[in-house]
Amino acid sequence: MSDKTMNTVDTSRRNILKGGAAAAVVTLAPGVTLRTVEAAVTGPATSAKRWGMLIDANAPEGVWDLAVEACKTEQGWGPEANKSGKANDSTDPQWIRKVSVKDPKTGAKATLPVMCQHCANPPCVDVCPTGASMKREDGIVLVDKHICIGCRYCMMACPYSCRSFVHEDVKGQKPHMPRGKGTVEACTMCVHRVDKGQKPACVEALNKAGSDAIMFGDLNDPNSDISRAVSQYVTQRIRADLGVDPGVHYRGI
């Protein structure tokens, strides 16, 4: 990817951070582009919304691999994105991962995906010295990579180990998701898609495969599918005892 494209990317990302706008790039002639910033379909991020997810841990285990792969493809992370071409298990970022849980007393098992839980009281945002870790009004927790100094205190603080540090040079970055060696990154709940009225990539991938194991929507809207579902079933949130009020609910743990 050329530096010029990277500059374009930066601008669009800033607008995403401000809350709900997307950039369009029109090529007028070779090398001449016109950039316009259009308002997001969903309007500016407001606290009237609380984006959240409901994950059904009873879904067949295979669907979670689809979700992980969809996230990698959409956001451009994973061992394939290392410039070195080498995979490093302990340092490669994992924005979403498949976790197996087993009750040692009963032998009951479940497999579920874990990603940034988009807490209402996010410890990563509390501890970040520069304010790079931030929560949008609509509950989406992001890292402003322009002011992340790479101290990793947010990774120390996250109760879910959901943040990754970019340990080496990366390649194949997506225009909507610039990544940088030396900064921290995590699931953005596909904010670039959500602001255009679309679903996160993992949700869409499962829907395409005929699964609704991950439901996405506005938890503040009593008429949304997700609100109806969480009011109908008893759901759990991981480490709810910490009081961080995650935006991701689970069923069947």
Residue 102 Cβ, how far from other proteins at the closest point, in Å?
Answer: 4
Give the integer Cα–Cα distance in Å for 69 and 2. 25
Of the candidate residues 225, 242, 245, 252, the single one contacting other proteins (CB under 8 A) = 242
Give the integer Cα–Cα distance in Å for 154 and 124. 4
- Give yes or no for residue 90 binding other proteins (CB under 8 A): yes
Cα three-residue angle 190-196-197, rounded to 5 degrees? 90
Of the candidate residues 52, 123, 178, 217, the single one contacting other proteins (CB under 8 A) = 123
Of the candidate residues 85, 104, 197, 222, the single one contacting other proteins (CB under 8 A) = 104
Of the candidate residues 147, 175, 207, 229, the single one contacting other proteins (CB under 8 A) = 147
Residue 161 Cβ, how far from other proteins at the closest point, in Å?
Answer: 6
Token pair, residue 164, equals 């990754």
Cβ of 38: how many Cβ atoms within 10 Å?
Answer: 11
**Helices vs. strands in the chain: H and E counts, helices first:** 7, 11
At residue 235, the 3 state secondary structure works out as coil
Of the candidate residues 45, 59, 63, 166, the single one contacting other proteins (CB under 8 A) = 166
Whether 193 and 201 have beta carbons less than 8 Å apart is answered as yes
Of the candidate residues 59, 77, 139, 160, the single one contacting other proteins (CB under 8 A) = 160
Cβ of 225: how many Cβ atoms within 10 Å?
Answer: 14
Q: Which stretch binds other proteins (CB under 8 A): 7-15, 121-129, 187-195, 216-224?
A: 121-129
Q: Which of the 8 DSSP states describes residue 199?
A: P
Q: What is the CA radius of gyration of the chain?
A: 18
Residue 103 Cβ, how far from other proteins at the closest point, in Å?
Answer: 6
Of the candidate residues 19, 52, 93, 139, the single one contacting other proteins (CB under 8 A) = 93
Amino acid at 124: C
Task: List the interface residues with other proteins, window 186-205 (CB under 8 A).
Answer: none
> Interface residues with other proteins (CB under 8 A)?
84, 88-94, 97-104, 114, 123, 125-132, 147-153, 155-161, 163-169, 180-184, 238-239, 242, 253
